[in-house]
Structure 1
Amino acid sequence: MFRSRRPSRRGFLAATIGAAALAALPVSAQPIGGVAVVDQERMFRQSAFGAQLLSEIDAQGDELAAENREIEATLTAEERSLTEARAELDPAEFRDRARVFDEKVRRLRAEQDAKARALADLQEDARATFVRRVSPVLSALLAEIGADVLLDRRMVLTAGTGVDITDRAIARIDETLAAEEADGAGAETPPAATDASD
Structure 2
Amino acid sequence: MLLAALALFLSAPLAGAQQQQTSPGGLTIQSPVLTIDAERLFEESAYGRRVIGEVDARGADLAAENRRIEDALGVEEKNLTDLRSTITPAEFRELADAFDEKVQNTRREQDAKARELNNTLEEARVVFLNAAAPVLEQMMREAGAAVVMERRSVFISSNAVDITLTAITRIDSVLAEEGTVPDE
Q: TM-score range by the shorter chain?
A: 0.7 to 0.9
CA RMSD for the aligned pairs? Answer: 1.9
User: How far, CA to CA, are the matches of 2:125 and 2:17 in structure 1?
Assistant: 33
Aligned with 2:66 (options 38, 46, 68): 68
CA contact (8 A) 1:39 1:154 kept: yes
Residue of structure 2 equivalent to 1:153: 151
SS in 2 for 1:162: helix
SS in 1 for 2:85: helix
Q: In the TM superposition, what is the alpha-carbon distance from 1:117 to its structure 2 partner?
A: 2.6
Query: 2:94 aligned with 1:109, yes or no?
Result: no
CA contact (8 A) 2:45 2:168 kept: yes
Residue of structure 2 equivalent to 1:189: 183
Higher Rg of the two aligned structures:
2
User: How far, CA to CA, are the matches of 2:152 and 2:63 in structure 1?
Assistant: 29
Residue of structure 1 equivalent to 2:7: none
Residue of structure 1 equivalent to 2:132: 134
Letter paired with 2:114 = A
User: How far, CA to CA, are the matches of 1:54 and 1:143 in structure 2?
Assistant: 30
Aligned with 2:17 (options 27, 45, 48): 27
User: How far, CA to CA, are the matches of 2:63 and 2:156 in structure 1?
Assistant: 37
User: How far, CA to CA, are the matches of 1:31 and 1:46 in structure 2?
Assistant: 25
SS in 2 for 1:36: strand
Q: How many residues align?
A: 160
Q: Percent identity?
A: 45
Q: In the TM superposition, what is the alpha-carbon distance from 1:96 to its structure 2 partner?
A: 1.6
User: How far, CA to CA, are the matches of 1:158 and 1:82 in structure 2?
Assistant: 62
User: How far, CA to CA, are the matches of 1:65 and 1:147 in structure 2?
Assistant: 45
Unaligned stretches of 5+ residues in structure 1: 1-25, 191-198
Q: In the TM superposition, what is the alpha-carbon distance from 1:31 to its structure 2 partner?
A: 5.6
Q: In the TM superposition, what is the alpha-carbon distance from 1:120 to its structure 2 partner?
A: 2.5
CA contact (8 A) 1:31 1:147 kept: yes
User: How far, CA to CA, are the matches of 2:134 and 2:51 in structure 1?
Assistant: 18
- Summarize deviations over 1:18-58 as a string: whole Å, max 9, x none: xxxxxxxx6324365x1111111111011112222333222
Aligned with 2:47 (options 39, 46, 49): 49
User: How far, CA to CA, are the matches of 1:149 and 1:85 in structure 2?
Assistant: 69
Unaligned stretches of 5+ residues in structure 2: 1-15, 22-28
Q: In the TM superposition, what is the alpha-carbon distance from 1:133 to its structure 2 partner?
A: 0.6
CA contact (8 A) 1:35 1:149 kept: yes
- Alignment TM-score, normalising by the size of structure 2: 0.78
Comparing 166-175 and 78-87, the one that deviates more: 78-87
Q: In the TM superposition, what is the alpha-carbon distance from 1:108 to its structure 2 partner?
A: 0.9
User: How far, CA to CA, are the matches of 2:17 and 2:115 in structure 1?
Assistant: 48
